[in-house]
Structure 1
Amino acid sequence: MEIIRPLPETLRPVTAHDSIGVTARPTFRSDSVAVTTLRVAPGGEIGTHPAPVPQLLLITAGSGQVRSGTDLWQEVTVGDTVQWSAGESHTTRSASGLTAIAIEFTTPL
């Protein structure tokens, strides 16, 4: 057994895609799936980018907004899961901060 705690000192800044206030910690990786803990600081944003593979975003703390492409922003909060298809452009932001688990699949869902 291993307990993985995404403490602030274990999170790395994410600046790709003009992201602001985002930190991440890879949690698990195999040939078929990658799991990452993400934190978006208050006022932060994961910049618009295409999903390289099918992705899920599970909101575990806080709240924010997500959108696909230029669609309208949708509210998300604790317990919500967002699914993006491979190639789908998407953005996540939070006025108050959020923590999420990102799951990326290299095999079809």
Structure 2
Amino acid sequence: MKLYQLSKENGKNITQFESNFIMSRIINTEASASIGCMYLEENGVIGYHQAVVPQLLLILEGKGYVRNEQEQYYQVQPGDAVFWEKDEWHETKTDKGLTGIVIESEQLNPAAFMPLK
């Protein structure tokens, strides 16, 4: 498991087409990818299981805890990105609720765009 940080500071200011915003890249893959939004309510849990493919969880709202094979939990909050390798055991849980985007693909390399936390 690796923890990355989503941040505006690592983004690029986009001005084309009279735009004015910052784009922070997250991932690029040539393999097919599955992208979903997960909503964990109060005391929600994504049970301890093996990742079928590499997975990247982007925390959008709320706070929670993640772990891998080690029994130590790490707190996550908006702006955090958690990466698990294929076959890595992991779990996500929350006391008060958490919303996140999960990206799953055979080819994920979050280190290409985001710094480690």
Distance 1:106 1:39, change over 3 A: same
Distance 1:67 1:38 in 2: 17
Match of 1:75 in 2: 75
Task: State the partner residue of 1:50.
Answer: 50
- Under a length normalisation based on structure 1, what TM-score does the superposition of the two structures give? 0.69
Shift of 1:31: 5.5
Letter in 2 for 1:44: G
Q: Which SS does the other structure have where 1:71 is aligned? A: coil
In structure 1, how many angstroms separate the alpha carbons of the residues matched to 2:73 and 2:108? 26
Q: Could you say which residue in structure 1 is the equivalent of 2:5?
A: none
Instruction: List alignment gaps of at least 5 residues for structure 1.
Output: 1-29
**Percent identity between the aligned chains?**
39
Greater relative CO (CA pairs within 8 A, separation 6+): 2
The residue that corresponds to 1:94 in the other structure is: 94
CA distance in 2, matches of 1:107, 1:32: 8
Equivalent residue, structure 2, for 1:66: 66
Deviations 1:44-96 (A, max 9, x none): 10000100111100000001000002330000000100000000000000001
Q: After TM superposition, which residue ranges in structure 1, 4 or more long, deviate above 2 angstroms? A: 106-109
Compare 42-51 and 30-39 and name the one that shifted more: 30-39
Q: Does 1:106 align with 2:78?
A: no
Q: Deviation at 1:40?
A: 0.7
Measure the CA separation in 2 of the matches of 1:42 and 1:80. 19
Matched with 1:19 is none
Q: Secondary structure at the match of 1:43?
A: coil
* Cα offset, 1:36, TM superposition: 0.7
TM-score by length of 2: 0.64
Look up the equivalent residue of 2:82 and give its one-letter code: V
